[in-house]
Amino acid sequence: TKFSQASSFHSRPKHLLSSPPKKIWGPTFGYKCLESLKMEPLADCSLLPGEERIIDKDIIYICPFSGALKGKVFITNYRLYFKSADADPAVTLDVPLGAIGRVEKMGGASSRGENSYGLDITCKDMRNLRFALKQEGHSRRDIFDILFKYAFPLSHGLLLFAYLSQEKFEENGWSVYKPMEEFRRQGLPNDKWRVTFINANYELCDTYPTILVVPFKATEEDLRKVCTFRSRGRIPVLSWIHRENQAVICRCSQPLVGMSGKRNKDDERYLDLIREANGTAKLTIYDARPSVNAVANKATGGGYEGDDAYQNAELVFLDIHNIHVMRESLKKLKDIVYPNVEESHWLSSLESTHWLEHIKLVISGAIQVADKISGGNSVVVHCSDGWDRTAQLTSLAMLMLDSHYRTLRGFQVLLEKEWIGFGHKFANRIGHGDKNHADQDRSPIFVQFIDCVWQMTKQFPTAFEFNERLLVTILDHLFSCRFGTFLYNCERARDTNELRSKTVSLWSLVNSDLSFYQNPFYTPESNRVLYPVASMRHLELWVTYYIRWNPRIRQQQQSPVEQRYIELLALRDEYLKKLEELQLSDSSPNSSHLSNSSTPNAASPTQHITHLHTPF
């Protein structure tokens, strides 16, 4: 078989850019490029700047698809790289250490069976790796110790690789998102909404960003009072405003109602200010949780907005489950797709993981939010702390409502704003550099969100400027620790650790090579609200992500439609050029040399087409 299991093939290391890749990005590129990209095993030293080689060893990779393969493993401070010795074509593995969730020894001194002594590595990106080693000479101990140390640097007092990387890019990704610019794009501040710097030093809320937009009528004092009544001080603040009807999406955490059903006049008044701002009769509060959970939260001091206290608001529960349920669901999904796709009763097995069901609930929650906003009603979204389900809902609703977020750069802004800025706890959810694989705080909430985005791109293949490759790249670097983008839990921690000055942003990589991530079918349609269909009939498993390691499945993943489209685009340009040359030589048959001096305007072929193309 021809596969090589490199993990980073969706992104091309900067230094490979020197030989510019083909102009045509066939959809297969991501996979096929492997052949050309195959980093000749560190022997040729195609290491990232700042990457250092630590150890290499002869080893047997027990490939679940093609059996035991002899070869060599190289471990650097960034990756584990394996290349088979005798298989043809060579099987390679390229795994960023950040993607490793757990390393275990397999078999003991008494192990008999062939290849039963070695290492078992569980990855965060839906695969497991098994290596067999010789029992003699401590070779396993050496490699285990090194892997353990470099895969979990934070547990060993080491720096994450992002802080060691010396990568340079043409563009600085950290400048992609400027909060004030983004608010101005939305038309803020205005006479109803103001920008406040009350959190400039993270004093109001340590998990919020520094710049917040709040109702114009709410004073700083009001904000401080509301702060006491919202879990972890995460007060309702504006995320997005509808340009025409001025309806807003606000996000926050649960109110601290508690068992006794406490009320807070300031909080009540504050929510009413949000409602008032565009003069709607009722404010809709979307509580992302199932109602039972919201009730249960009262026991730990939380709760939800009661009818009595918030008279001008209606509360809707969206029945989305918590991080633990999602974690188990993805675990089950992995069980049925890796290494082999469950054969008997595939669909029932898929259903029993509930993964798509959760996706459905998240998407239909976001549809409801978007629908309310389109209807001119402001909404407030929260869950318990407002950094997991809330982020999913607000960002998906914004993706449906605002076509800007469907562009390549707009999507980066969306992630920077709703996820990174508002403190989705990436460090805890992913466990960057941390050895504690059983940590109950870990959960694939962000993966789930990206899956929802993928479902939307699948349903609206022409509405997004970016392609699937971007989504996979984002998920790869969610784990890889090569970039600073997804490190730490909140802005405050990023500031403390000087993240933006000491690490490189993922968007530097992406924006230095935008064409790689562009969807050729993209047709901008501003002001168009996208409502995906949140029915199981249309939701499908993201095979190209979850089952991408399986060489049998991969074959299916090429998009011939894209290939054909790109071929036709090239053909059109070629013909246009030819036609132009012909027309020139026709008009001035005696001065054919002129055609050389006027090159066709390749930049805007569509302008040429307008007069050529007969409308049907």
- Annotated binding-site residues for substrate read 322-323, 383-389
Is 63 among the residues known to form the active site?
Answer: no
d(CA 594, CA 616): 34
User: How crowded is residue 41: how many other Cβ atoms within 10 Å of its Cβ?
Assistant: 19
With tokens 């005798």, the residue in question is 86
SS3 380: strand
Which is closer to another protein, CB of 190 or CB of 583? 583
Catalytic pick among 63, 383, 452, 490: 383
Residue 12 corresponds to which tokens in the numbers above? 């091309």
Beta strand 5-6 with 92-96 is: parallel
Annotated binding site: 322-323, 383-389
Which letter, b or e, does each residue of 217-233 get, where b requires 16 or more Cβ atoms within 10 Å of its Cβ?
bbeeebbebbbebbbbb
Q: Are 543 and 556 in contact (CB under 8 A)?
A: yes
Which is closer to another protein, CB of 103 or CB of 576? 576
Shortest Cβ distance from residue 297 to another protein (Å)?
A: 7
d(CA 411, CA 254): 27
Beta bridge partners of 84: 71
d(CA 570, CA 193): 48
Shortest Cβ distance from residue 558 to another protein (Å)?
A: 8
d(CA 123, CA 147): 13
Beta bridge partners of 285: 315, 380
Which is closer to another protein, CB of 45 or CB of 579? 579
Q: What is the DSSP letter of 527?
A: T
| Cα→Cα distances 9→33, 36, 271, 483, 573, Å | 7, 11, 47, 16, 30
**Cβ neighbourhood burial of 155 (10 Å; 0-12, 13-18, 19+):** middle
Which is closer to another protein, CB of 167 or CB of 385? 385
Shortest Cβ distance from residue 533 to another protein (Å)?
A: 5
Residue 250 corresponds to which tokens in the numbers above? 């606000």
Beta strand 212-215 with 248-252 is: unpaired
What residue type is 570 in one-letter code?
A
d(CA 185, CA 417): 13
Which is closer to another protein, CB of 568 or CB of 602? 568
Which is closer to another protein, CB of 190 or CB of 598? 598
d(CA 499, CA 98): 17
Which is closer to another protein, CB of 45 or CB of 612? 612
d(CA 176, CA 515): 17
Give a three-class secondary structure readout of 41-82.
CCCCCCCCCCCCEEEEEEEEEEECCCEEEEEEEEEECCEEEE
d(CA 507, CA 486): 11
Which is closer to another protein, CB of 189 or CB of 301? 301
SS3 194: strand
Q: Are 359 and 448 in contact (CB under 8 A)?
A: yes
d(CA 282, CA 296): 26
First to last CA, the chain: 48
Which is closer to another protein, CB of 116 or CB of 352? 352
Residues recognised as catalytic: 383
